[in-house]
Amino acid sequence: VTIRKLNTGNGTLDLPAFLPDATRGAVRTLGTGDLDDVGVQGVVVNAFHLGERPGISVISRLGGIHRFMGFRGPVASDSGGFQIYSLRAADPKFGTVSPKGFRTHRTGGGDGRKLLTPEKAIRRQLALGADMLVCLDHCTGPGAGKEELRDAVEHTVAWAAAGKRAFEEECERTGRRPLLFAVVQGGGDPDLRRECAGRLGEIGFDGYGFGGWPVDGEGRLVETVGVVAESFPPGTPLWGMGVGRPEGIVEACGRGYMLFDCVWPTRGARRGRLLVRGGRDVPVKSREDYRIIQIRDERHVRSEEPLDEFCSGPCCREHSRAYLHHLFRVGESLGPRLGTMHNLRFYVELMKSLRDGA
Ligand SMILES: [Zn+2]
């Protein structure tokens, strides 16, 4: 049993779907017209970052995230569990985690100490007007010990339960009901992962995300990605959060994941790392089926060929490698924009081939 579509308040996602990250309300370098041209179905914004700037109330008063961004498709919002983890990893003084939630000791917005509770995380995402919400979770790093993983699971389950209660209350009050996802934690411990998935499943959500690190040091999917998928009934919407390399998406899709987001293709594009099929018009199934080229390399300076002759996107219909190389070399902002459009078009075509069962 596979799930082919996900209905949201702002359109239907054809599954599997890759949703690029628009962390601060934009897929970097792209306008919403570019997203439409490329065929991007939906995006993921981050309620934690948008809460710092411009503030959730600003976006809410301006009519919500869709109107604010000028984007009509499905918008998912992340609560910021992962950002909290990464900001704390970079600076342990950034904040502390307790059963109540997450307390920041300082914030970019400068309003001092703040407590992000699981209820607040949900209310903020509802105020944004996102179509798919994510409960606050306690994310751990690759080196987390058993005790820390246990705490993370306990917090994540308790916060998901509290988040769901707040969600139901608000939906009742407003009559609007987006989709609510919970995130499975438990690090590399299969038993903890199963337990976390089971307890979240009992509370009941519209879908579930794989939280934490989905890949190992060599870029391969970790075993627990499969463990989590097997913990839910077939057909449950599963989100492979942070699964972003094409071969990882293909593999996770085979295990039942249907939603993906990752900064990898867009961040790489801005640095000139562009994905091309190796001169063959075949669906990408593994790492052997595509190459990563560095468009800044000298060898592209006189190249008349398109980036990828099989790309049907606006990037490759109009422009040569030589032109892209030039744009990147002289620092024109059009370079990263065309590169981002190209890499996302590569993903649009990858997801289409997975949908077609190629
Ligand atoms: Zn292209």
Higher per-residue confidence, 218 vs 40: 40
Enter the DSSP assignment of 215.
B
Which stretches of the chain are DSSP H helices? 32-38, 47-52, 56-61, 65-69, 81-90, 118-128, 146-174, 190-203, 223-230, 246-254, 264-270, 314-318, 321-330, 334-355
Expressed in angstroms and rounded, the spacing between residue 269 Cα and the centre of ligand 1 is 11
Q: Annotated catalytic residue: which of 34, 78, 131, 189?
A: 78
- Categorize the per-residue pLDDT at 110 as very low, low, confident or very high, splitting at 50, 70 and 90: very low
Q: How do strand 5-8 and strand 290-294 relate by DSSP bridges?
A: unpaired
* pLDDT single digits (tens) 166-185: 999 999 999 999 999 999 99
Expressed in angstroms and rounded, the spacing between residue 246 Cα and the centre of ligand 1 is 16
* pLDDT single digits (tens) 123-160: 999 999 999 999 999 999 988 999 999 999 999 999 99
Expressed in angstroms and rounded, the spacing between residue 42 Cα and the centre of ligand 1 is 19
Indicate if 78 belongs to the active site.
yes
Q: Annotated catalytic residue: which of 21, 137, 189, 261?
A: 261
Residue pair 22/77 in contact (Cβ under 8 Å)? The answer is no
Q: Which residues contact 156 (CB under 8 A, 6 or more apart)?
A: 135, 137, 138, 182, 183, 184, 185, 196, 200, 211
CA-to-CA separations, 347 to 118, 256, 275, in angstroms, rounded: 33, 18, 9
Alpha carbon 337 to its chain's center: 19
pLDDT of residue 107: 54
- Cα–Cα distance, 77 to 236 (Å, whole number): 19
pLDDT (average), residues 260-271 = 97
Expressed in angstroms and rounded, the spacing between residue 310 Cα and the centre of ligand 1 is 8
Query: Over the chain, what is the mean pLDDT?
Result: 94
Expressed in angstroms and rounded, the spacing between residue 235 Cα and the centre of ligand 1 is 33
pLDDT of residue 111: 47
- Categorize the per-residue pLDDT at 218 as very low, low, confident or very high, splitting at 50, 70 and 90: confident
pLDDT (average), residues 287-311 = 95
Helix then strand then coil, % of the chain, to nearest 5:
45, 15, 40
Query: Which residues sit with Cβ closer than 5 angstroms to ligand 1, an ion?
Result: 311, 313, 315-316, 342
Expressed in angstroms and rounded, the spacing between residue 345 Cα and the centre of ligand 1 is 6
Both tokens of 202, joined, read: 């009992």
In the chain, the N- to C-terminal Cα span, in Å, equals 17
Both tokens of 284, joined, read: 């990408």
- pTM listed for this prediction: 0.96
